[in-house]
Amino acid sequence: MKTIYKTIFVIGLGITSLTISAQRDTTLTRQVLLEREYNPTLQDASKINTTPNIYTPVVKQGNINFVSSTPQIKLDNNQLGASAPGDIKTNVDFSKKRGYLILGGGTNGNLDGAAGYRIVDGERDRLDLFGNYDATSGKINYLDKENYLNKDVKAKYSNAGVNLKYQHTFDPSILTIGASFRNTGYNYYGNSFYRPESSSFLPFDYDSRQSVNVFSLNLGLKSSEKNEGALKYIGNIGFSHFGNKYGPTSLTDGISGEQVDLGVNVFTEFDTDKTMGIDGSIMYQTFGKEDWFENDDVYHKYLNVQGTPYLKFLGANWDVNLGANVNFLFDTKVGFSLAPNIKANVRINDVNRFYAEIGGGVNNNTFLDILQENRYVNPATRVGYSKTLYDAKIGFSSGVISGLEFDIFAGYKQTNKDHLYIYRPSKRENYAWSLVGTPLYANVSTGHIGGQLKTTLIPYTDLSAKITGYFYNVKYRDGYVTLVDPVTFSEKKAWGHPSFTAELNADVKPVDKLTLSVNYLYAGGREGAYLSSVNLQAKMKDINELNFRGEYQVTDWLSVNARLNNILYQRYELYYGYPLQGFNILGGVSLKF
């Protein structure tokens, strides 16, 4: 680790010297938005209700915004039906106000809140302090409870964070320094799926709250719009220390470690229509040492060095980005990865667009990555990295009718040593967690096809709808933790992934200060789950969720909101054995001062 700290110090000095040499005495137009890095998802917002996110970058075309990319198949980052403070706009006009305060609460012990204040709002300097807190502690009924130990359980979750961010503007560059602390707490409340006769030797711990702390520092430097030099740049360095309270049981200490991220993107423009550059990054993860390690190879150091040279061309009605992702990997073995990074767009009459891209690269699956993906992973295991050999997408979007746009897309992706989750109690000993996820590695091929529609033709309404179908091919692989038994795992499925998703979003503004939002999400045909402790392959219920939200702007500094989540009172699981909340109500206020 001494080498890493020295590297951070040297790079920090380099960035500082660049900044000092670049400083000039002019004014840069400032952004007047109080930044909030906390971007709550449905998982963080309605706490136990979580459904798939479909990430789509915005493409401006015609006269309305339109999202055209294909969805990521992850059921952990959904923005639909979110009930936490992130739904409430925190844009602040700093000529009048400098901060915000958001408070909310509801059934099942659901609480949420956020606050932020711009301490310094100078011509060249900004200093922001902002944070959030949301939590739940409500009783949940198990979906399958007839013949097992427990029929219901209390699901506990909390998320708290505080951030400090400073920004100084020079003529050719912008310097950013930040620090943050975040704590996530939760219990392993999943159904153990053990019969009552087994309880005498398996006293599972449903009550103890796992606690994960993450402390982060970051430093960034990027070219400003005033930079007239030939080379433009974006550089950043980040350091995070993380640790959880418990290990495989509540009687064992957890794991701790550090993650260092370095990134530099240097590019130049020439011939008025071309850009050439290289985007590089280094990710280093290391862990402490604990006595309860089942396998010394699990918690080892991991280093990923990536370089992406690229060349961009811009035409009158087209643009192309040609590049390649090159990775050198230092894990239990030294590895190498080469994947394309190519994008192309062709516009016809400014309202029609054909697009295609093929990417790929390494998925690090770090401790912090997996915490966001599935916090109920066995603390005694570590998920290894995977390689996406290629991720190809094609599509056509059109906005030929004013106020109406549609998109048709398809794609195919191949990821080697991807991870799926099987479920089992953590250990057969006192105070073990009742149910945790364990990675099962596989080469997974994923295809998808779908379409999306967005319209503003309905009076006072902004509506969008999207449907996507998926198909998979799975071949199991040996991994760090789970060894494949061809008999036990004879059925090769993409456990937990859907075969069809649909979503509908509608924002209605019947009067000037009132906004009503309806969100509906369906995810069906999920490939179920595998419960290794009882050799059970189980289907998972479809996700079928309807949410409603209303917000009224009382004054320019006060708004009130109410949220009705899971109106259909559907009972399903995101992670097998972990049921989600049924119908719940939340309400709150938002103030700007």
Cα–Cα distance measured from residue 367 to residue 354, given in angstroms and rounded to the nearest whole number: 38
pLDDT of residue 39: 31
Token pair of 578 as six digits = 């972990």
More confident residue, 456 or 94: 456
- Among residues 342, 387, 326, 336, the alpha carbon closest in space to that of 362 is found at 387
User: Which helix (H) or strand (E) covers residue 486, if one does?
Assistant: none
CB 514 within 8 A of CB 551: yes
The CATH code of domain 2-592 reads 2.40.170.20
Domain boundaries, the chain: 2-592
Q: Could you give the angle at the alpha carbon of 585 between the alpha carbons of 572 and 131, nearest 5°?
A: 95
> Cα separation of 78 and 57, whole Å?
14
Mean residue pLDDT of the chain comes to 81
Q: d(Cα 580, Cα 376) in Å, to the nearest integer?
A: 14
Grade residue 73 by pLDDT with cuts at 50, 70 and 90: very low
Buried b (16+ CB within 10 A) or exposed e, 255-289: bebbbbbbbbbebeeeeeeebebebbbbbbbebee
pLDDT at 555 over 70: yes
Residue 355 pLDDT > 80: yes
Q: For 299-312, what is the mean pLDDT?
A: 94
Q: Locate 211 and state its tokens.
A: 């606690």
Check: pTM over 0.75? Answer yes or no: yes
How many Å apart are CA 376 and CA 537, to the nearest integer?
Answer: 19
Q: Give the closest residue to 420 by CA, choosing from 476, 491, 486, 359.
A: 476
Least confident stretch, 14-18, 181-185, 456-460, 474-478: 14-18
Instruction: Please report which residue ranges of 365-507 form alpha helices under DSSP H.
Output: 367-373
Question: Over the stretch 112-142, which tens digit does the pLDDT of each residue have?
Answer: 999 999 999 998 999 999 999 999 998 999 9
Task: Name the nearest CA neighbour of 468 among 72, 30, 16.
Answer: 72
pLDDT digits (tens, 9 = 90+) for 143-160: 877 767 788 899 999 999
Distance from C-alpha of 545 to C-alpha of 558, rounded to nearest angstrom: 30
For residue 361, list its beta bridge partners. 388
pLDDT at residue 479 in the model:
77
| pLDDT at res. 535 | 63
SS3 at position 9: helix
Which amino acid does the sequence have at 241? H
Taking the C-alpha atoms of residue 192 and residue 205, their distance in angstroms, rounded to an integer, is 10
Range of weakest confidence among 344-353, 389-398, 545-554, 574-583:
574-583
Q: What is the pLDDT of residue 486?
A: 66
Residue at token pair 């499925």? 493
Question: Over 60: is that where the pLDDT of 105 sits?
Answer: yes
**For the chain, how are helix, strand and coil distributed in percent, rounded to 5?**
10, 55, 35
User: Which range in 36-40, 377-381, 412-416 is most confidently predicted, on average pLDDT?
Assistant: 412-416
Q: How many angstroms separate the CA atoms of 165 and 118, rounded? A: 10
Residue 21 has pLDDT above 50, yes or no: no
Neighbours of 400 (CB within 10 A): 12
Here the tokens at position 85 are 């403070």
pLDDT at 434 (0 to 100): 86
From residue 76, how far is each of 125, 179, 442, 444 by CA, in Å? 36, 25, 20, 19
Q: What pLDDT, in 10s, does the model give residues 440-490?
A: 899 999 999 999 999 999 999 999 999 999 999 999 888 776 666 766 677
Burial 295-320 (b: 16+ CB within 10 A, else e): eeebbeebbbebebebebeeeeeebe
Confidence of residue 59 (pLDDT cuts 50, 70, 90): very low
For residue 187, give the nearest of 207, 202, 204 by alpha carbon: 207
**Window from 13-27, 153-167, 307-321 with minimum mean pLDDT:** 13-27
Q: What is the pLDDT of residues 526-539, one digit of tens each?
A: 887 877 766 667 78
Q: For residue 580, what are the contacts with CB-CB under 8 A and spacing of at least 6?
A: 48, 49, 50, 140, 566, 571, 572, 573, 574
Six-digit token string for 45: 């917002």
pLDDT tens per residue, range 84-93: 333 444 566 6
